[in-house]
Amino acid sequence: MIGVDFVYALAGLMFAGLAVLSARDGSNPRRWGNAAFWALFATSFLVGSFIGDLANGCLITAMVLIAGFGGLGRGEPVTTTLQEREASSARLGNRLFIPALTIPVVTLFGALVLAKVQIGGHPLIDPKQTTPISLGLGVIAALVVAFALLKPRLVEPLHEARRMMESVSWAALLPQTLAALGVVFVLAGVGTVIGGLATHWLPLDTRFAAVCAFTLGMALFTMIMGNAFAAFPVMATAIGLPLIVGKFGGDAAVMGAIGMLSGFCGTLMTPMAANFNLIPVALLELKDRNAVIKAQAPTAILLLIANTALMYFLAFHR
């Protein structure tokens, strides 16, 4: 059976490759900082399940220290020139999108078809981790398609990955660390505390009030945390489960799905979501640091209003 460890190993090997390439890049004065940072990240993926929470915490702390004290820099990865990329784009046209589109197609196929396949009475892939495993298979399939289409050198994908990851830098860790922070908040009882404050200070005695508190709370808490995955367990513990589901009999699936969408509205409006809102500014060399947020905010507000209405009308169908 293919388990989620396959995905961890795939990511770990990629980051290990980035560490090796970073160490060999004499053009980067901070190459050893980059190499150590990506090597530690690779270690967390490759052996994190075996070394315990304390060791993993030490790995993350070391990475924070490297990034916090300016240990990361950008080198000059081996890549194609602008003229070569333009010529390749003109030659291939829309076929350039085939590798990218391969990932969602294979992921969907894995989630809908491979998840039902059994060999010798055992499932082919872990039914509890269908989506990440299918995504990993999709990445491998896309890589094979890209090699067949573009015929690059064998190490070229790693060079391009390093170029992108050095542009993103430490922000690449934000989704993972913020999601973990959400779990820490739940274990620490933050959701219970927020729920107590909300019920004490807000008039949450109607369905509409509870729904508004939950969707707006998801957006606001996401803006603070920078990640809806970190905000969801806290707000679900505080308002979603005890009020919308428990007190008013709402549908937990609707609450969860639309609640996450409400959180994503907050993602569109916060600099804390650096990998979404600040990294594009840097890559596009925009003068206004908040240009992406300003462009997204009106849409985010309209979507948040729509999500609130959808939850109110769909969650209480019973």
> Which pTM was predicted?
0.71
Q: Which residues lie across from 123 on neighbouring strands?
A: 118
DSSP 178-234: HHHHHHHHHHTTHHHHHHHHHHHHS---SHHHHHHHHHHHHHHHHHHHS-HHHHHHH
Q: How far apart are CA 136 and CA 234, in angstroms?
A: 29
| Mean pLDDT, residues 19-37 | 89
Predicted local distance difference test score (pLDDT) of residue 318: 57
For residues 1 and 127, is the Cβ–Cβ distance under 8 A? no
Report pLDDT digits (tens) over 223-237: 987 778 778 888 888
| Chain centre distance of CA 185 | 18
How confident is residue 93, by pLDDT bands cut at 50, 70 and 90? Answer: confident
Query: Worst-scoring range by mean pLDDT, 57-71, 177-191, 278-292?
Result: 177-191
CB half-sphere exposure, 165, CA atoms < 13 A: 24
Across 297-311, b (16+ Cβ under 10 Å) vs e yields: eeebeebbeebbebb
Q: Long-range contacts of range 283-291, CB-CB < 8 Å, 24 or more positions apart?
A: 283/167
State in Å, rounded, how far the first CA of the chain is from the last one. 39
| CB-CB contact of 106 with 134 (8 Å) | yes
Please provide the average confidence, as pLDDT, over all residues in the chain. Answer: 85
Domain ranges for the chain: 5-170, 189-314
